[in-house]
């Protein structure tokens, strides 16, 4: 997050770090590549582009064993008091995620075990059920560039038609947020993380042109557009093992 302020994980207890297991085993924290948002005791919502690395369509998703999820910790390199590592049982990425347009940039990460809620540093965030009005002030947070330390920023939802003009057509499955004067924005390493409006998961950090640049607000997956998809993906998960 550029232009924000440092925070502790207690401020965003729904936020987790999504990591490449192999790199994290070499050095704890080195595998961080994306964020995610806890939406239930077993499910983290993130971006499809964090799990489909090649430029193929339809997308091919990586092995769940390649990833770990770390919750409850403010810092990438330490567990702190309540940090916890979760293995991944299944990744359900959107079947129509497009690597060039980044349309349908959403994935559910199904954890191998239940998040212990008594570790009060991790909690679920409700999904936005309705569109949010332009001008609404929302929160972004993550460990992304330039600080690689957990930061939070406040950004307004931008007018859809303006964003559509700026980016030469933006589908309704994407929304953009940020100031036209730039300054506060998500950045590399914040992908998959939450855009929170009115205490609900409204957007997923997806893409943009640079970070915090004027006239280029960040682009987010429009969560309310994918409620049915989330419901369907969630009901296909196999909870019987635990
Ligand atoms: C990225 O590279 C990225 N300013 C994410 C968000 C934004 C730009 C880049 C939005 O993951």
**Residue 121: what pLDDT?**
80
**Of 17, 191, 206, 224, which one is the catalytic site residue?**
191
Q: Nearest CA to 162 among 175, 152, 173, 147? A: 175
DSSP notation for 174-186 = EEEES-TT--SB-
**Of 24, 46, 49, 151, which one is the catalytic site residue?**
49
**Residue 19: what pLDDT?**
98
The rounded distance, in Å, linking the Cα atoms of 46 and 87 is 15
Q: To test ligand 1's pocket by mutation, which of 186, 209, 217, 219 has the most ligand atoms within 8 angstroms of CB?
A: 186
Give the residue-averaged pLDDT of 60-76. 97
Per-chain mean pLDDT for the chain: 96
Cα torsion 154, 178, 192, 230: sign: positive
Query: How far apart are the CA of 89 and the centre of ligand 1, in A?
Result: 27
**Quick check: 74 pLDDT over 80?**
yes
**Of 24, 32, 35, 105, which one is the catalytic site residue?**
105
Identify whether the C-beta of residue 120 lies closer than 8 Å to the C-beta of residue 13.
yes
128 Cβ neighbours under 8 A, 6+ residues apart: 197, 198, 200, 201, 202, 223, 224
- In this prediction the ipTM stands at 0.97
**Residue 88: what pLDDT?**
98
pLDDT tens across 111-158, in order?
Answer: 999 999 876 689 999 999 999 999 999 999 999 999 999 999 999 999
**Residue 120: what pLDDT?**
67
Give the residue-averaged pLDDT of 40-44. 97
**Residue 242: what pLDDT?**
56
Give the residue-averaged pLDDT of 28-45. 98
**Residue 206: what pLDDT?**
98
Cα torsion 24, 27, 33, 34: sign: positive
**Quick check: 159 pLDDT over 60?**
yes
> Is 49 one of the catalytic residues?
yes
> Is 63 one of the catalytic residues?
no
How many helices (DSSP H) and strands (DSSP E) are in the chain? 3, 13
DSSP notation for 75-137 = SSS--TTT-EEEEEEEEEE-TT--TTT-TT--EEEEESS---TTSTT----PBP-SPPPTT-E
Confidence of residue 241 (pLDDT cuts 50, 70, 90): low
pTM for the model? 0.97
């Amino acid at each position: 997050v550029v232009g924000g302020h440092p925070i502790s994980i207690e401020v965003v207890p729904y936020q987790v770090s999504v990591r490449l297991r192999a790199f994290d085993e070499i050095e704890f924290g080195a595998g961080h590549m994306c964020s995610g948002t806890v939406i239930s005791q077993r499910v983290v919502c993130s971006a499809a582009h964090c799990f489909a690395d090649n430029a193929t369509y339809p997308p091919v998703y990586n092995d769940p064993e390649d990833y770990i999820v770390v919750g409850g910790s403010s810092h990438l390199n330490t567990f702190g008091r309540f940090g916890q590592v979760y293995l991944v049982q299944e990744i359900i990425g959107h079947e129509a995620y497009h690597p060039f347009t980044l349309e349908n940039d959403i994935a559910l990460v199904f954890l191998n075990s239940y998040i212990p809620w008594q570790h009060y540093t991790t909690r679920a965030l409700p999904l936005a059920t309705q569109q949010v009005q332009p001008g609404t002030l929302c929160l972004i947070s993550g460990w992304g560039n330039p600080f690689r330390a957990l930061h939070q920023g406040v950004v307004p939802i931008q007018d859809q038609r303006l964003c559509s003009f700026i980016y030469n057509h933006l589908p309704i499955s994407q929304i953009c947020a940020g100031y036209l004067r730039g300054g506060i924005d998500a950045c590399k390493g914040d992908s998959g993380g939450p855009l929170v409006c009115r205490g609900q998961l409204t957007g997923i950090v997806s893409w943009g042109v640079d970070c915090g640049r004027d006239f280029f607000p960040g682009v987010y997956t429009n969560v309310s557009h994918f409620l049915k998809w989330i419901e369907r993906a969630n009901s296909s998960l196999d909870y019987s093992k635990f």
